[in-house]
């Protein structure tokens, strides 16, 4: 149960930092709509990566249990 809480906190903070980093990189260089679309796309890709890593850890823990 504690693992789920850790995964959720890590995912939220990772997505927040990713969105802010994209905002700092492209903010002012492109239109606001393009910036929002880019932030959404990159955050979606990062969320998929985080979900895959969490799924892999849970899968490996289930295999290791006797």
Q: What is the pLDDT of residue 43?
A: 96
Task: Split the chain (66 residues) into runs of 10 and give each run's mean pLDDT.
Answer: 83 95 93 95 95 88 75
- Which pLDDT belongs to residue 2? 78
User: Residue 6: what pLDDT?
Assistant: 86
| pLDDT for the residue numbered 29 | 94
H runs (alpha helix) in the chain = 2-26, 32-64
SS3 65: coil
The pLDDT of residue 37 is 96
Quick one: pLDDT at residue 14? 94
Return the pLDDT at 1. 65
């Amino acid at each position: 149960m504690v693992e789920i809480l850790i995964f959720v906190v890590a995912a939220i903070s990772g997505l927040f930092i990713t969105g802010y980093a994209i905002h700092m990189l492209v903010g002012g260089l492109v239109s606001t709509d393009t910036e929002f679309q880019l932030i959404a796309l990159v955050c979606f890709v990062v969320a998929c990566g985080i979900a895959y890593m969490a799924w892999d850890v849970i899968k490996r823990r289930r295999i290791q249990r006797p």
